[in-house]
Amino acid sequence: MEVFTVLWREYIFFKRRFLKITTSAIMIPVLYLIAFGWGLGQDVVIEGATYMEFIIPGIIALSTMNTSFNAVAIRINISKLYERSFEYYLTSPINMYLLALGHILAGALRGMYAAVLILSVSLLFGVKLHIDFYFILICFLNSFLFAAFGYGAALSIESHYDMNRFTTYIMTPMLFLCGTFFSLKSLPPMVKGAIGILPLSHTSFSLRQIVLKGQFDHKSIIVLLVYSIVFYSFGVAMSYKEMK
């Protein structure tokens, strides 16, 4: 019941701010497509594909990451530090596992919405991507794990400024390094191995393999699923910590 209650509340929030949420979710990806796809990549071929075809899966990966993380982190941050409304959840007789799951699923759905927007915009740029079940599953797992990370991060901080640490030292490096804008094949083996551990690397690589080659490595699902469980457990632990 707690899950559906949170999802319904977030749906009302999304419905009331539909235009603002949509424009904010689509603005930066469109700028990336114009700057990198049109501006730099008209004649560039990477891994047997045009740069526009190469970059769109990466943009989907980073957009689902940012959208799902911010959708949860900002909402929890405001309700916890400013509105003080999150305390009512913690003091009520509800299951923290279900409360966390509700917020995380809401963030994951926002991430999926961002993916749909980018796929729609890619058609306007003349790029039609191959979409299958694994493509959707990877997008959802990526959205879920970063929504869970945003939930735990928001509960672990004591001030609004502390959230910048997660953005600066974790989110932004992944955004640029995890194969979203360039191929990792040319990197030194040690650097490539370190970056390959990160969840966004698996998302970018998997989406690109599906789109460009129609292939899929099931190992990525396992890795993203493990990250999802770890981050979800982190969020639940932070919920119980807030209750003390």
Higher pLDDT, residue 203 or 131: 203
- Domain with 174 in it: 2-243
pLDDT at 42 over 90: no
| pTM given for the model | 0.92
In this predicted structure, what is the pLDDT of residue 228? 97
In this predicted structure, what is the pLDDT of residue 138? 96
Structure tokens at 236: 């639940």
- Lowest mean pLDDT segment, chosen from 21-30, 143-152, 159-168: 159-168
pLDDT digits (tens, 9 = 90+) for 104-143: 999 999 999 999 999 998 888 888 888 889 999 999 999 9
pLDDT at 1 over 80: no
Structure tokens at 212: 């460009």
In this predicted structure, what is the pLDDT of residue 88? 62
What b/e string do you get for 148-180 counting C-beta neighbours within 10 Å, with b at 16 or more? bbbbbbbbbbeeeeebeebeeeebeebbebbbb
In this predicted structure, what is the pLDDT of residue 225? 97
pLDDT digits (tens, 9 = 90+) for 212-238: 888 888 899 999 999 999 999 999 998
In this predicted structure, what is the pLDDT of residue 125? 80
pLDDT digits (tens, 9 = 90+) for 153-201: 998 887 777 788 888 899 999 988 898 888 888 888 898 889 999 999 9
What's the whole-number average pLDDT of the chain? 87
Q: What's the pLDDT band for 93 if we cut at 50, 70, 90?
A: low
- End-to-end C-alpha distance for the chain, whole angstroms: 24
Count structural domains, the chain.
1
pLDDT at 53 over 90: no
pLDDT at 79 over 80: no
- Lowest mean pLDDT segment, chosen from 13-27, 77-91, 196-210, 211-225: 77-91
